[in-house]
Amino acid sequence: MDNIVQNSVVVNLSRRPATVEVGPFVIGWDPGTDSRYVNYATPRVGAAVRAADVVALVAAFRRIDRVPRLEYVTSCAPTLEERLLAAGFTVEARHDYLTCTPESLVLPGVPAGVEIAEPVTDDEWAGVIAAQNEAFGGEPVATPEDVARLRRTGEAGGVVLSARDVAGHHLGGGAASPPGAGVSEVTGIAVREPYRRRGIAAALTGAITERLFATGADAAWLEASGENSWRVYERVGYAPTGKRLYFALDGTTSEGN
């Protein structure tokens, strides 16, 4: 599964508005945002990585004015960590990733008074993003570029869902990338603080995963960065499968988050 998940990351980065190929690496680049979580690189499975390749990767990031940053499944590039550390990169995080199949999926009930639905209007798309931003500790706003980016996910075959109350207020949201190599990543599962611990995150995760499988995806994967999210995902049928590493060259770390 490690190789399949890593291949899906390569496919999804190649779908960014712009892609930069650098030796064994693929940089997914979106000129419309400088977000480090949108613009990053990953290695191709099984590719030999030399010190010179890392130097070329850093130079490519500098040319597009983005922070040199990578995300990848650890086993798919076992010598890469040593190369990156030698080049001055620091570890941002080490995360477990979990996978779910149609056979393991468990659909939790949707809490009373909550609706799980796809956004349709611009205001609804913006509401999803604003709720996610607030849930992750940011400002509850969404730019037109944010809306366009999330729309592209849905239009390309991914899934975007919102959790709303009966008055239409957005309580949270989540998304999944279009399947690549038969696998899709579930991302951005977020619920605003006042509405947590009610089963909304589990309902969102289950609904998104169910829709992915309805499109023919063979498996879904996501990451757990804390005990609370781990419990939510296991309730839905996700199980720990492998390890992922995050590296950046600016010295910012979030180890253990």
DSSP string, 4-61: HHHHHHHHHHTTSSEEEEETTEEEEE-TT---TTTSEEEEPTT----HHHHHHHHHHH
Please report the pLDDT score of residue 180 as a whole number.
Answer: 84
Q: pLDDT-derived band of residue 251, with 50, 70 and 90 as boundaries?
A: low
Q: What percentage of the chain carries pLDDT values higher than 70?
A: 96
Q: How confident is the model at residue 252 (pLDDT cuts 50, 70, 90)?
A: very low
CA distance 220 to 186: 7
Fold match, 2-96+244-248 / 114-237: yes
Give the pLDDT band of residue 212 (cuts 50, 70, 90). very high
Q: What is the predicted pLDDT for the residue at 86?
A: 96
Fold of domain 2-96+244-248? Aminopeptidase (3.40.630)
Tell me the domain boundaries of the chain: 2-96+244-248, 114-237
In the three-class reduction of DSSP (H, G, I as helix; E, B as strand; rest coil), residue 128 is classed as helix
**Confidence label for 224 from pLDDT (cuts 50, 70 and 90):** confident
Strand order in the sheet with 90-100: 18-22, 25-29, 40-43, 69-73, 239-248, 90-100, 219-224, 183-191, 170-176, 159-165, 114-117
CA distance 116 to 118: 7
Reported as a pLDDT band with limits 50, 70 and 90, residue 236 is very high
- Topology of domain 114-237, per CATH? Aminopeptidase (3.40.630)
Query: How many angstroms separate the CA atoms of 173 and 164, rounded?
Result: 9
| Beta partners for residue 247, in sequence order | 70, 91
Q: What pLDDT does 110 receive?
A: 94
Could you give the CA distance from residue 80 to residue 71 in angstroms, rounded to a whole number?
Answer: 11
- Report pTM: 0.87
